A and B are shown apart, each in its own frame.
Chain A
């Protein structure tokens, strides 16, 4: 695959917990991958992002130079002729809301009402704390295609993720010579995946739907890891920051970067 720039979007698993890890933007997996291929990059991922806001990060992220745990020198794709844009999606149960005071779309890391108020949230999430589950928790009325031939009626949060993938793929149509890759890194407890991302299960590992056909599967980077979410490459013993924090440490970040390096070399 030919590319001359990498733009990485995602949540904390892509942002790389830079403040805690202490290796700056070059120590994140997008930085490692870009340095391996010798191309410039921008990592505009933000911790706690929902899939909807991840898909909007290329246009919704303010330009500028922010050092502490966030993007630096983000001012567009520069002189790139063939940008590679990677959307690293996350757990589906996050709350997307419009922040009227700031005037932009935001997301909150949890839809659990107790984590939407007080020190865990802000006045907007507190005001809306009952909306995600009470009003939005049901079915969207949309149906998901499966390889089993049995269509599945989609819940609202799953539908938002499907829309986010479709939104991400639009960049490939809009930006001349751009390549978009999407996939899942962070795996959650609501709609956890089964054997791979084509299976959605319950908390108790009961399969809810099998043979999920996500949009644009050809562009899904999980194919380089047997369609498993990349978080599963992390060894619980020595690849995560520590008990209570399952984000990848330096070794874990390198393991995720290796999947991208090997995958991109294959294409």
Chain B
């Protein structure tokens, strides 16, 4: 696979605000392949918003890695997908499409950053769950991600799911995790086949992890998460399941393995 740059899009598992930008996996990939890179990811994004990050991202409002897109002639566009259970909404405070990061009833609030009173969307969310709209949203998001391949002449679109909400701490695989993995595996393969039938070629990096979300390669190991389950000092050390630098390195290693095998 030939590329001269990397543009990464995703949620907090691609760009976590507590992790230095130089420690994120897009930077590790850029250093490994010695190419410029840009990390456009933002925490809490839905997959649809992730698909729009190449244009919605405003370089003057975030730190984002290499600022000069104009140097990128053959970019590798990597979309790190998240849970399907996020709802895209138009956010007045941002003046653009944003997302409701959690659709759990208890999490729906007035969000001052987006200007969205999320409670207003509770009925929509409930109907969406019943009618399986969230899967439909993901299908459109994945199609949208691949539109970039048609606008960006010499680009390659790589995609896969990273964020996985079903993992449990510890190395023993519980029934909950097994069920979650089966569901995610089915979802990823469905999306992969959809891309193959509609677009022609699908580069899904979950192939390297047996079609499981990349996050599962951390295996519930507390050392690979910021704080998986230590509740002894929650005030100063809250539960935070984002990957540590070692965990992020594992993400990068898997992505490199996939890219080198294409």
B217 at the interface (CB under 8 A from A): no
Known A98-B87, A98-B97; contact A166-B58, beta-carbon cutoff 8 A: yes
Known A59-B144, A98-B89, A156-B92; contact A135-B117, beta-carbon cutoff 8 A: yes
B92 touches A98 (CB 8 A): no
A163 touches B96 (CB 8 A): yes
Of A96, A131, A163, A176, chain B has the most CB atoms within 10 Å of the CB of: A176
A75 touches B133 (CB 8 A): no
Number of interface residues of B (CB under 8 A): 45
The residues of B that contact A171 with a CB separation of less than 8 Å are: 55, 151
Of B94, B123, B141, B154, chain A has the most CB atoms within 10 Å of the CB of: B94
Within 8 A of B (CB), among A131-147: 131, 135-136, 140-142
Q: Which of B56, B90, B131, B150 contacts A98 (CB 8 A)?
A: B90
B95 touches A156 (CB 8 A): yes
How would residues 117 to 132 of chain B score, 1 for a CB under 8 Å from any chain A CB and 0 otherwise?
A: 1001001100110010
Known A52-B90, A174-B69; contact A100-B151, beta-carbon cutoff 8 A: no
The residues of B that contact A105 with a CB separation of less than 8 Å are: 48, 88, 90, 97
The residues of A that contact B69 with a CB separation of less than 8 Å are: 173-174
The residues of B that contact A170 with a CB separation of less than 8 Å are: 54-57
B55 touches A167 (CB 8 A): yes
B104 at the interface (CB under 8 A from A): no
Q: Which of B57, B92, B117 contacts A160 (CB 8 A)?
A: B92
The residues of B that contact A77 with a CB separation of less than 8 Å are: 150-151, 153
The residues of A that contact B127 with a CB separation of less than 8 Å are: 100
User: Which single residue of chain B is at the shortest CB-CB distance from A59?
Assistant: B147
A103 touches B136 (CB 8 A): yes
Known A59-B144, A77-B150, A96-B90; contact A103-B96, beta-carbon cutoff 8 A: no
- A194 and B56 alpha carbons, distance in the complex (Å): 29
B55 touches A56 (CB 8 A): yes
The residues of A that contact B93 with a CB separation of less than 8 Å are: 140-141, 156
Q: How near does chain A come to B12, taking the closest CB pair, in angstroms? A: 21
A162 at the interface (CB under 8 A from B): yes
A127 touches B124 (CB 8 A): yes
Q: How near does chain B come to A105, taking the closest CB pair, in angstroms? A: 6
B123 touches A127 (CB 8 A): yes
Q: Which of B48, B120, B137, B151 contacts A175 (CB 8 A)?
A: B151
Q: Which of B92, B133, B137, B151 contacts A59 (CB 8 A)?
A: B151
The residues of B that contact A52 with a CB separation of less than 8 Å are: 90, 95-97
How many residue pairs between the two chains, A and B, have CB atoms under 8 Å in the bound complex?
124
A159 touches B90 (CB 8 A): no
A55 at the interface (CB under 8 A from B): yes
User: Which single residue of chain B is at the shortest CB-CB distance from A166?
Assistant: B58
B133 touches A101 (CB 8 A): yes
Within 8 A of A (CB), among B55-99: 55-58, 69-70, 72-73, 87-90, 92-97
Known A76-B151, A101-B131, A167-B55; contact A136-B92, beta-carbon cutoff 8 A: yes
The residues of B that contact A176 with a CB separation of less than 8 Å are: 70, 72-73, 152-154
A202 at the interface (CB under 8 A from B): no
Chain A interface size, as a band, is 35 or more
User: Which single residue of chain A is at the shortest CB-CB distance from B140?
Assistant: A103
A98 touches B152 (CB 8 A): no
- A52 and B57 alpha carbons, distance in the complex (Å): 14
The residues of B that contact A159 with a CB separation of less than 8 Å are: 92, 95
User: Which single residue of chain A is at the shortest CB-CB distance from B123?
Assistant: A127
Q: How near does chain B come to A111, taking the closest CB pair, in angstroms? A: 12
A114 at the interface (CB under 8 A from B): no
B139 touches A103 (CB 8 A): yes
B203 at the interface (CB under 8 A from A): no
B96 touches A98 (CB 8 A): no
- A176 and B4 alpha carbons, distance in the complex (Å): 13
A58 at the interface (CB under 8 A from B): yes
B70 touches A173 (CB 8 A): yes
B137 touches A58 (CB 8 A): no
Within 8 A of B (CB), among A41-98: 52, 55-56, 58-60, 63, 75-77, 80-81, 96-98
B16 at the interface (CB under 8 A from A): no
Q: How near does chain A come to B3, taking the closest CB pair, in angstroms? A: 13
B170 at the interface (CB under 8 A from A): no
Q: Which of A76, A103, A156 contacts B133 (CB 8 A)?
A: A103
A140 touches B115 (CB 8 A): yes
B148 at the interface (CB under 8 A from A): yes
B52 at the interface (CB under 8 A from A): yes
A174 touches B54 (CB 8 A): yes
- A128 and B87 alpha carbons, distance in the complex (Å): 15
**8 A-B contacts (beta carbon < 8 Å):** A59-B148, A63-B147, A75-B150, A76-B151, A96-B97, A98-B48, A98-B87, A161-B95
Identify the B interface with A (CB < 8 A). Answer: 48, 51-52, 54-58, 69-70, 72-73, 87-90, 92-97, 115, 117, 120, 123-124, 127-128, 131, 133, 136-141, 144, 147-148, 150-154
